[in-house]
Structure 1
């Protein structure tokens, strides 16, 4: 039975690395090397955007120079009608920060918990394959984690469930919920309860690999730092301090053949 999805349900999800201006060159080189992608030509009215172009498929990782504030990650939700999607998001509790403008065609919003995200109109349909490395293993950025302090979690869970129209389920870990993302999407979406006193919601990237040891060795050689190790994942920071995780899962377990 088909399910009617809201106008804000994305056909594609991209992650944007918003790198502080002083970290842009170093951070761009690091993420291109870590992901096995190629940096596109710079674009944008202020020459602020680049894309991490995969060897196959459509891109789902992009970089933006951030002229004020530290580095962070935000999400781009690709939808057919950005204005209609934004209007629905506002009904759910979002706030529009920058309305759609004809020349750029995107809307900037913040979620109820203060997470920045955009509705964009670019079309993409084909997922890229994991990158194979000389050591014989593979890896891929295939998930974003929306990290919410406990007091903001319930509102954020409801918001992202209703905004995307995707079912929300609990995981084996009590602090995590997972959106049931369609298999055509390039990124899984996890929502995590933070046990700290963060003032607003944030996002980090997760990579999966079939050889955690080899992948961590590669990241550290490129300038990353290991911050914490858990049973199933390792927390790292890129050369500029932006946090992300590496998990031990086959990186193509949900990629269509």
Structure 2
């Protein structure tokens, strides 16, 4: 894979931006950078050690969502390859914003990180990290979207059991990518984050104290919603 780094961008609706940014800073243990951008709409969540891989954005309008940034050496070359695979180009400047065939926005950017942060250590021996971005694919789009992301990333998307397929994990990057085939058929492809932890129940309780709402609990996953309405999951140490 010649994708050098992956950043998850949490794009918040305006009314929820301040509250949601504070929430994600608290649940990750990462400081919030000074805002940047023409309207001070961007910020980075800065880990105590290692390089950043989570960022936040205040949207001008629309519901909260997630998009991903793929860090590469040659933005234009990778964008052209994605377009040949079915992506639609939306913005082109020093970065390129595209939309996958199923509707998920993503960007090719430069400036990769080099050092993956360790898991954040909490009181009582609890440890956690937002370590996985799951691309949620409607059932009718599964084959096309899986093939598209395999081509964009330059790696095979391998069956991982159940309704999941994944890219090969890398110890050099803190964010792993996985695709999930949904049982239902929403109009577009979406994405959510997964937290990895050594004590799922304790980690879920910590998130609830900070403002998350539990939506569902299963044998391997706890599904929550953040203050901006974004769903995300907490899983055990073997979730990737």
For the aligned pair, the TM-score class normalised by the smaller chain equals over 0.9
> In 2, Cα distance between the equivalents of 1:116 and 1:123?
19
1:47 deviation in Å?
Answer: 1.1
Contact kept, 8 Å, 1:56 with 1:129, in 2: the verdict is yes
Equivalent residue for 1:35? Answer: 28
1:192-211 to structure 2, matched below 5 A, reads 192-211=180-199
Return the match for 2:105 from 111, 116, 119: 116
The match for 1:185 is: 173
Alignment of 1:55-204 (within 5 A): 55-99=48-92, 101=93, 105-173=94-162, 175-204=163-192
Q: CA deviation at 1:188?
A: 1.1
**Secondary structure at 1:197's aligned position in 2?**
coil
Q: How many residues align?
A: 240
Name stretches of at least 5 consecutive residues in structure 1 with no aligned partner. Answer: none
- Give the TM-score, by structure 2 length: 0.97
Paired residue secondary structure (1:33): helix
Q: CA deviation at 1:250?
A: 6.0
Query: Which one of the candidate residues 217, 223, 228 is aligned to 1:235?
Result: 223
Secondary structure (helix, strand or coil) at the match of 1:152 reads helix
Partner of 1:22: 15
Q: Does the CA contact (< 8 Å) of 1:210 and 1:250 recur in 2?
A: no
**Which of residues 45, 68, 71 is equivalent to 1:52?**
45
TM-score (norm 1): 0.91
Please give the alpha-carbon distance, in whole angstroms, between the structure 1 residues aligned to 2:143 and 2:161: 18
Deviation by residue 1:191-226 (Cα, 9 ceiling, x = unmatched): 001112310100100001001111011000001010
Does the aligned pair in 1 maintain the 2:3–2:72 contact within 8 Å? Answer: yes
